[in-house]
Amino acid sequence: MERLQKYLSRCGVASRRHAEQMILGGRVCVNGRIIHEMGVQVDEARDSVTVDGKPVLPSPDKVYYMLNKPQAVVTTCEDPQGRKTVLDLLPKELRIYPVGRLDYMTEGLLLLTNDGELANRMAHPKYKISKRYLVFVRGFLTDKMIQTLQRGIALEDGPTMPAKLELLERDASQSTFYLTIFEGRNRQVRRMCEAIGLPVLRLRRVQVGFLQLGDLPAGKYRPLTVKEVKQLRKLLCGQEGPP
Ligand code: URA
């Protein structure tokens, strides 16, 4: 027996958190009964689970992809406003979903998988997975601002953790730098830059943990290599085999 949301995430339907939202939204049935509450346990061998009327079965093969998300694409799987989603850039038969989020106008490295457990761990603050961004801002980034961004800056949802900044160029009109952060709050980099008075002109995620975007063109995707998957499992699960 296992908790319904865990089963859904293991089957590649959604991350555990998103699965909980699906349950609360009345989209999940167990043996024909709509489930509205948390805490229901299911037995894979005996219970029949559906989401939006479609049967949910364990997916034996876990797959891991990296996408170079272009600007003007939403990271969610469906968009009520009908905008292009990251899933529109991938083959339909791949039942995978994004790990974490990039804003509509943020470009760069996005991981997608049907491995709900690994996706949960990637997003969990405990693992402090680094995210490296190439940031273009309007205005001159002073040494004092660099220190502020690195040490931590007060945002409305609390101070940011120490970050690492590598300056590439700066002049009166524009500054460019790499910023590595170890948490993943909503619009975090944009809000950090807004807080020092320099609006973001362009934002690209170039690295997540040890995974690098490299020269993957915008809008293209590739499976992670066997070596990358092993390394990822080692990082998040302390082992190379399945979590
Ligand atoms: N920080 C942001 O501001 N936006 C993103 O998409 C990711 C990090």
**Does residue 114 share a domain with residue 220?**
yes
**Does residue 102 share a domain with residue 80?**
yes
187 lines ligand 1 (CB under 6 A): yes
Which CATH number belongs to the domain containing residue 24 in this structure? 3.10.290.10
Q: What is the pLDDT of residues 112-163, one digit of tens each?
A: 998 888 888 888 888 889 999 999 999 999 999 999 999 999 999 999 999 9
Domain count within the chain: 3
Range of the domain at 26: 2-55
**Whole-number Å distance between alpha carbons of 106 and 190:** 10
13 belongs to a structural domain: yes
**Whole-number Å distance between alpha carbons of 4 and 49:** 9
**Does residue 24 share a domain with residue 87?**
no
Amino acid letter at 59? S
Which CATH number belongs to the domain containing residue 198 in this structure? 3.30.70.1560
Angle, CA 76 vertex, CA 70 and CA 79 arms, to 5°: 100
Which CATH number belongs to the domain containing residue 120 in this structure? 3.30.70.580
Q: What is the pLDDT of residues 98-113, one digit of tens each?
A: 999 999 999 999 999 9
pLDDT bin (cut points 50, 70, 90) of residue 46 is confident
Ligand 1 atom with minimal separation from the 191 CA? 3
189 lines ligand 1 (CB under 6 A): yes
Q: Is residue 103 annotated as part of the catalytic site, yes or no?
A: yes
Q: Residue 229 in 3-state DSSP?
A: helix
**Does residue 226 share a domain with residue 120?**
yes
> Does the CA dihedral 139-141-144-147 come out positive or negative?
positive
Strands (E), 61-123: 64-69, 97-98, 107-113
Please identify which of the residues 43, 47, 88, 103 carries the catalytic annotation.
103
Pocket test for ligand 1, best of 68, 75, 106 (most atoms within 8 A of CB): 106
242 belongs to a structural domain: no
**Does residue 47 share a domain with residue 21?**
yes
Ligand 1 atom with minimal separation from the 102 CA? 6
**Whole-number Å distance between alpha carbons of 51 and 27:** 6
Helix axes 16-24, 116-123, angle to 10 degrees: 110
